[in-house]
Every structure is written in C-alpha cells, then in structure tokens.
Amino acid sequence: MTTRTRPTSVSPLLYITLLSLFLPSLSFAQDVRTWITRDGIKHQGSIMFMSSKSVTIKGPKGMISLPIAKLSEEDLRFIQQRKSQTKKQQKLGPAQSPFPPGMSKKGMPPRVIQKTVSPTTTPPIPKQALPATTAFVPGKWPSTVKTTFSPADIQTVSETKREGYIYRSPHFEFRSPFRLPHRAVRSFSLVFEATYDLAKAMPIGLNPQARGNGYYITELFVNNEDYFAAGGPPGSAGSFFPNTGKILVPLPSLGVTRKSNNILVNRGAVGRTLIHEVTHQVMMRWLPLIPIWMGEGFAEITSALPYEAGYFRLSRMSKAIRLSTGSGPGAGRSFEMVPLQRLMSISPQAWSTAVSQNKGQQNYRSACILTYYFLRLDGQGQGKRLINYITAKQKGVNDSEALNTYLLDGRSYEQLQKGFTRAWREEGLKITFSK
C-alpha cells in the first residue's frame, strides 16, 4: 500500500461489533429506481449493499457508491423501508443457499460465462453458530504451502455493465467496477486460494469455512475515494468488515489502475494487503474468541511470509517475522516492543485510536512477533498454550480466566517477558521494551 502505515483492517466500531455479535448483512433485492442526490444528480440502479456512510447501487454504468449524507429524503426513506423488510425476512427463517437450484459448488463448471448466476449474498452468522466442536490439535508445520487451485477453475460470473464484473475461484467471489484483465483475475485468485490453503495448513485446526457454505466476498473499487465512500477506514489500503463478512479494497492498492481505456497491472503489488485481509476473512469464525492483538498478529504473520504466485515459503518463518519488524540497515536484528502486559490487554478502541493517529506500527509489529512466539517458540514449540487458550474460549471460559490459566499458564507477565525475550534472542532478534 502507498498510504497506510500498517494493514488497517477494522475501524473501532467494526471491531467492537465483531467482538459482541454479528449484525445482519445489508444485502437487498433488485429494486431498480432513480436515485436523486441533494444537488439534483440522478442515478438509476438497484441497491447491492450499504455501509453506515454510503449505499452502493448497480446501474447501466456499473457499480456506483453514493454517500448517504448526499441522498434525498425520499431515497433515505426508501433505504429505511428496505432495511426493515430485510430484517423481517431474516426473522422468518434461515437464508437460502447461495447456489442456483440443483447446483452445488462442486457442480459449477469452470471458466463459463454464467449470466444466470447471481452474485452470492453473505448470510449472517448467528452468535450461537460460532464454532463449538472443532478440535485444536498441535501438529507439524509444513515447510511450504502451494495452493492446489488451478487457474482453469476460475469462473466468470458476469462481465457486463448491466450485471457487473464478477469472478469466482473455488472459495472466493470478487466484484470489480470494470472488466479485469485475465492476468489480474488469475493473480487475485491465486492470492485468495493460497491464503485459504495456508490457514487450513496451519497445524492448529482453524478449518476455514465460508458463511452459508458459499463464497468469501470481496468488493473492489476504482479508487480510494470510492473505497472510502463505501465505508473503508481513511488511511487504510483494505478492510475486512465482520458484520458482513466482506473485504473492501481499492484496486490501486492491488496494483491495478485504469487510465482512459487502458488497465495497468502491477503484479508485484497484489500480495501483502490482500493476504492480510483474507487472513481475517478466513478466520472470521474465530475472531470473536481471541483478542485484537492475536487476530492482527495472525494476519501480520501470513502477510510477512515470502509469497509468489500461489506459493508460501514457511521454511524460514522466524527470519521472515524478524524482517517484518522494520526496514533499512539493521532490520530484523533488534526491535523495541510494546510491553507484553500492555499489549495483551489493549482494547479494540485503543488499538484503532493508535492507528487513526498514525501510531499503530509498533502495535502491529509487536502483535506479529508475540503471536508467532505463542505459535512456534513458546514451550516445546507446538503452540500448546495458544491452542489450550482458544479451546477454553471456545468452551465459554471468560477472558481473564482463559488468559491466566492457559496462555500465561501460571507465569507472571515479568516471567513471560523474560522467556519471550530469551526465545527471540535465540532466533537472532534482540527485544527491548518501550516505557
């Protein structure tokens, strides 16, 4: 990314929402109408989705984001009516399958223009449907993860202004404001599927699953202005929204820009931003169970790993994490860390406040090396304390008890800090702690 300091994924309100409950996804029926802004500009189209700041419609010219503050009173009443209808429908029963009648995910033919297939909606996850039985078992880490996904499995759902520009890989659906070159579709799909496979390969039993057995959804935007209008946090290069399960990303953050009729693609710019946000997305079932520093730590670890064309190299993970702590001469040799007690008790509000004030880098980097410590350096290096902690949270143990009993495991913060410093020194990283 060119503007963010670290991968800003969730605004304070969004992460508070994540830690409390999953709100219904505001997806709407195809009601084509004329929208009129307060300055008299007219747009024709139907609602696709909305955030607290904007509504995105699909019209003859493709996807358009309209700031809610600029809509007419009539438009605002219409939005409120549709929201009320959606909530009533959700009370009547479970969401319908995202697949066409009689067709499963495995039955979807590859690389076929399917104009009859509508974009997948994202059914909400009720709080009681969060994982309750998955077994977390320590295992051996792989030295590499290479996705088994083949570009031949890419589906073009739609490539028209009327229907939108929608593409699918086996587990992901991404929607663009314009037709994407095949090399960009292939590059995005490889990142999506490789990150999914990486989360699945982590030997702690994450077992990623999309909502409603459907697809993970990503909305792409022409520029930062459209992205921010749709609810993207200012200063961020991509966002995961836990209330809808969607990722929003401006295409320039992924190296794709449009100039007149030309689409320019910088393949080298795709990786880190998307890997970070996709990690949040495929871990969305687990995020309510873990603190913000750990959720961000997982995403920082995956985005720090060497990646190329669907291939992650894990053989030298410690070195990759060390190098992620800084840049320039001496990078990866020393790091000034947030004190562990302060980091492990930071609230989502305090985390996001630091990010909004451009003071979040140290938090992200500290979260990365602390999460990695619990995964691969603590104890016998099998992540048992981390696994025991998540298992306890899964069973309903409260935050304080789970932290003290399973993660600290009888250690004081001072003892943990000494063991943490010693373990990283053996990996070649000198740790000091800020005041």
List the Cα angle 183/188/192 in 5-degree steps: 150
Q: What is the mean pLDDT of residues 398-403?
A: 89
pLDDT (tens digit per residue) in 101-120 = 333 333 333 322 222 233 33
Retrieve residue 295's tokens: 């959720």
| Structure confidence at residue 152 as a pLDDT band (50, 70, 90) | confident
Specify the pLDDT at position 396: 85
Which percentage of the chain shows pLDDT scores above 70? 74
DSSP strand E in 251-369: where?
256-259, 262-265, 307-308, 311-313, 334-337
For residue 406, pLDDT beyond 50: yes
| Structure confidence at residue 415 as a pLDDT band (50, 70, 90) | very high
Specify the pLDDT at position 49: 60
For residue 339, pLDDT beyond 90: yes
pLDDT (tens digit per residue) in 15-70 = 333 333 333 333 333 457 888 887 778 887 777 666 666 777 766 655 677 788 78
Contact 368, 321 (CB under 8 A): yes
List the Cα angle 259/265/268 in 5-degree steps: 140
Higher pLDDT, 346 or 383: 346
Retrieve residue 137's tokens: 């078992």
Q: What is the mean pLDDT of residues 381-398?
A: 86
The Cα–Cα gap between 252 and 429 comes to 34
For residue 144, pLDDT beyond 80: yes
Within 10 angstroms of residue 362's Cβ, the number of other Cβ atoms is 17
Q: What is the mean pLDDT of residues 199-223?
A: 84
Which percentage of the chain shows pLDDT scores above 90? 25
Q: What is the mean pLDDT of residues 143-169?
A: 88
Closest residue by Cα to residue 218 from 229, 227, 206: 227
Specify the pLDDT at position 98: 34
Specify the pLDDT at position 417: 93
DSSP letters spanning 246-281: EEEEEGGGGTEEEETTEEEE-GGGSHHHHHHHHHHH
Q: What is the mean pLDDT of residues 409-414?
A: 92
Specify the pLDDT at position 253: 86
Q: What is the mean pLDDT of residues 151-172?
A: 88
pLDDT (tens digit per residue) in 256-277 = 888 777 777 776 666 788 899 9
**pTM of model > 0.75:** no
For residue 316, pLDDT beyond 50: yes
User: Whole-number mean pLDDT of the chain?
Assistant: 76
